Amino acid sequence: MASLRPRTAVAPEFGALLSEVHRVGREVIAPAADAVDDAARFPHESIAALRELQLLSAYVPEAYGGLGLSIADISKVCEALGHYCASTAMIFAMHQIQVACIVHHARGSRFFEHYLRELVDQQLLIASATTELGVGGDLRSSICAIEVDGDRFRLVKKAPVISYGEQADAILVTSRRTPDAASSDQVHVLVRRGETQLEALSAWDTLGFRGTCSSGYTLSSEGAAEQIIPTPFDAILSQTMHPVSHIVWSSLWLGIAADAVGRARAFVRGEARKNPQLPPMSSLRLGEVDIVLNGMRNNVQSAVAEYARLLEADDADAFKSFGFATRINNLKLSSSQLVVDIVGKAMLICGLHGYRNDSKFTLGRHLRDAYGAALMVNNDRILAHNATMLLALKEA
Q: Rounded CA gap, 63 and 156, in Å?
A: 35
Type of residue at 83: H
If contact means CB under 5 to 8 A according to the sort of partner, which of ligand FAD, other proteins, none does residue 129 touch?
ligand FAD
Environment class of residue 229 by beta-carbon count within 10 Å: exposed (0-12), middle (13-18) or buried (19+)? Answer: buried
For residue 49, give the nearest of 100, 12, 89 by alpha carbon: 89
If contact means CB under 5 to 8 A according to the sort of partner, which of ligand FAD, other proteins, none does residue 201 touch?
none
For residue 221, give the nearest of 305, 283, 162 by alpha carbon: 162
DSSP assignment string, 209-252: -GGG---EEEEEEEEEGGGB-SS-HHHHIIIIIHHHHHHHHHHH
**Stretch 217-246 residues interacting with other proteins (CB under 8 A):** 234, 238
Closest contact distance (angstroms) between CB of 149 and ligand FAD is 26
User: Which residue of the chain is nearest ligand FAD when measured via CB?
Assistant: 136
Pick the piece of the chain touching other proteins (CB under 8 A) from 56-64, 262-270, 341-349, 387-395.
387-395
**Stretch 295-324 residues interacting with other proteins (CB under 8 A):** 317, 320-323
Residues near ligand FAD (CB under 6 A) are: 94, 127-131, 136-137, 161-163, 209, 212, 214, 372, 375-378, 380-381, 384
Closer residue to other proteins (CB): 149 or 317: 317
**Stretch 125-154 residues interacting with other proteins (CB under 8 A):** 140
Closer residue to other proteins (CB): 7 or 177: 177
Residue 393 C-alpha from the chain's centroid = 28
The region, left, alpha or beta by phi > 0 then psi within -120 to 50, assigned to residue 252 is: alpha
If contact means CB under 5 to 8 A according to the sort of partner, which of ligand FAD, other proteins, none does residue 234 touch?
other proteins
Closest contact distance (angstroms) between CB of 382 and other proteins is 12
Closer residue to other proteins (CB): 188 or 297: 188
Answer whether 78's CB lies under 8 Å from 92's CB.
yes
**Stretch 166-195 residues interacting with other proteins (CB under 8 A):** 181-185
367-386 footprint of other proteins as x/- string (CB under 8 A): ------------------x-
389: contact with other proteins by CB under 8 A: yes
Dihedral, CA atoms, 382, 178, 110, 68, nearest 10 degrees?
Answer: -10
Query: Cα Rg for the chain, rounded, in angstroms?
Result: 21
If contact means CB under 5 to 8 A according to the sort of partner, which of other proteins, ligand FAD, none does residue 294 touch?
none
Q: What are phi and psi of 124, to 5 degrees?
A: -70, 145
If contact means CB under 5 to 8 A according to the sort of partner, which of ligand FAD, other proteins, none does residue 322 touch?
other proteins
If contact means CB under 5 to 8 A according to the sort of partner, which of ligand FAD, other proteins, none does residue 149 touch?
none
Answer whether 306's CB lies under 8 Å from 324's CB.
yes
Closest contact distance (angstroms) between CB of 136 and ligand FAD is 2
SS3 147: strand
**Residue ranges that bind other proteins, judged by CB under 8 A:** 140, 181-185, 234, 238, 317, 320-323, 385, 388-389, 391-395
